[in-house]
């Protein structure tokens, strides 16, 4: 495998988010590689061109005929000591596309991730942790965004951690009510994206009228491509 060009990493990197992308590939008009999440949630490629609707068979076959490296190989090992049967350190390994998918789900020791929910501590993988959220902390309804923002309400008067699925993220919202006057409660809200494989960036705002029982929260997806002419295209 030493003969393979190191540029292979660039060939399979999504031009918009920079993440490693595996077949099937969708390209933009300028033939940049795009990952499924970017074609689904971003309005266009980071270069400014729209995404093509169909996948690119030639590139799919080409990459499927090659071997790639684990995208987590530079991470530290989160292993306490004794090696687990069937697990091989991926730092210097090369994988076919199918082997790599399997490696991310079950074999990799460099993509371990601990569930951040209070009193949970379950350890899964970056690539499978969202399954754990759905099975153990769910059901988690998906909030359908309206263009690039999603608005919903959270109860303001009790302390709570809530998970919401919006865009490609799994967001943990923590509400902390603070009593100021007799009936006046001012709630503090914090947001954390707990889907570690989500590469998008978000902004959020929260408003609460005094005496109101609900907080109105708006989560917006930051577009990778931004241009002054964007709104009129
Ligand atoms: Zn992407
Ligand atoms: Zn592009
Ligand atoms: Zn690995
Ligand atoms: Zn958990």
Instruction: Give me ligand 4 centre to Cα 107, in Å.
Output: 20
The pLDDT value recorded for residue 69 is: 94
For the ranges 34-48, 154-168, 198-212, 218-232, the one whose mean pLDDT is highest = 34-48
Q: For residue 56, name the pLDDT band (cuts at 50, 70, 90).
A: very high
Instruction: Give me ligand 3 centre to Cα 76, in Å.
Output: 10
Residues with CB under 5 A from ligand 2 (ion): 28, 30, 32, 45, 47, 49
Question: In angstroms, what CA-CA distances link 63 with 24, 52, 69, 70, 97?
Answer: 10, 19, 12, 14, 8
- Closest-lying ligand to the alpha carbon of 71? 3
> Who wins on pLDDT, 179 or 147?
147
pTM: 0.86
Is there a contact between 111 and 196 (Cβ–Cβ < 8 Å)?
Answer: no
Instruction: Give me ligand 2 centre to Cα 6, in Å.
Output: 22
The pLDDT value recorded for residue 37 is: 95
Instruction: Give me ligand 1 centre to Cα 196, in Å.
Output: 14
Residue-wise pLDDT for 68-95, tens only, equals: 999 999 998 765 555 566 667 899 899 9
- Closest-lying ligand to the alpha carbon of 105? 3
Instruction: Give me ligand 3 centre to Cα 116, in Å.
Output: 22
- Closest-lying ligand to the alpha carbon of 25? 1
- H/E element, 26: strand 26-28
The pLDDT value recorded for residue 233 is: 44
Instruction: Give me ligand 2 centre to Cα 71, in Å.
Output: 22
| pLDDT over 70, % of the chain | 87
């Amino acid at each position: 495998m030493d003969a393979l060009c190191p540029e292979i990493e660039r060939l399979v990197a999504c031009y918009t988010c920079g993440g490693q992308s595996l077949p099937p590939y969708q390209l933009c008009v300028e033939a940049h590689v795009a990952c499924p999440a970017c074609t689904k949630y971003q309005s266009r490629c980071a270069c400014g061109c729209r995404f093509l609707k169909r996948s690119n068979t030639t590139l799919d076959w080409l990459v499927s005929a090659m071997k790639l490296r684990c995208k987590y190989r530079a991470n530290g090992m989160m292993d306490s000591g004794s090696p687990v049967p069937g697990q091989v350190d991926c730092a210097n390994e090369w994988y076919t596309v199918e082997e790599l998918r399997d490696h991310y789900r079950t074999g990799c020791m460099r993509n371990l991730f601990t569930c951040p929910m209070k009193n949970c501590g379950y350890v899964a993988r970056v690539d499978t942790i969202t399954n754990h959220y759905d099975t153990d902390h769910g059901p988690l309804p998906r909030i359908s965004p309206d263009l690039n923002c999603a608005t919903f309400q959270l109860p303001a008067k009790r302390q709570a951690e809530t998970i919401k699925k919006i865009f490609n993220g799994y967001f943990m919202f923590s509400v902390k009510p603070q009593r100021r006057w007799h009936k006046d409660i001012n709630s503090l809200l914090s947001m954390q994206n707990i889907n570690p494989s989500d590469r998008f960036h978000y902004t959020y705002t929260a408003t609460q009228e005094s005496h109101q029982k609900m907080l109105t929260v708006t989560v917006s997806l930051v577009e990778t491509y931004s241009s002054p002419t964007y709104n009129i295209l």
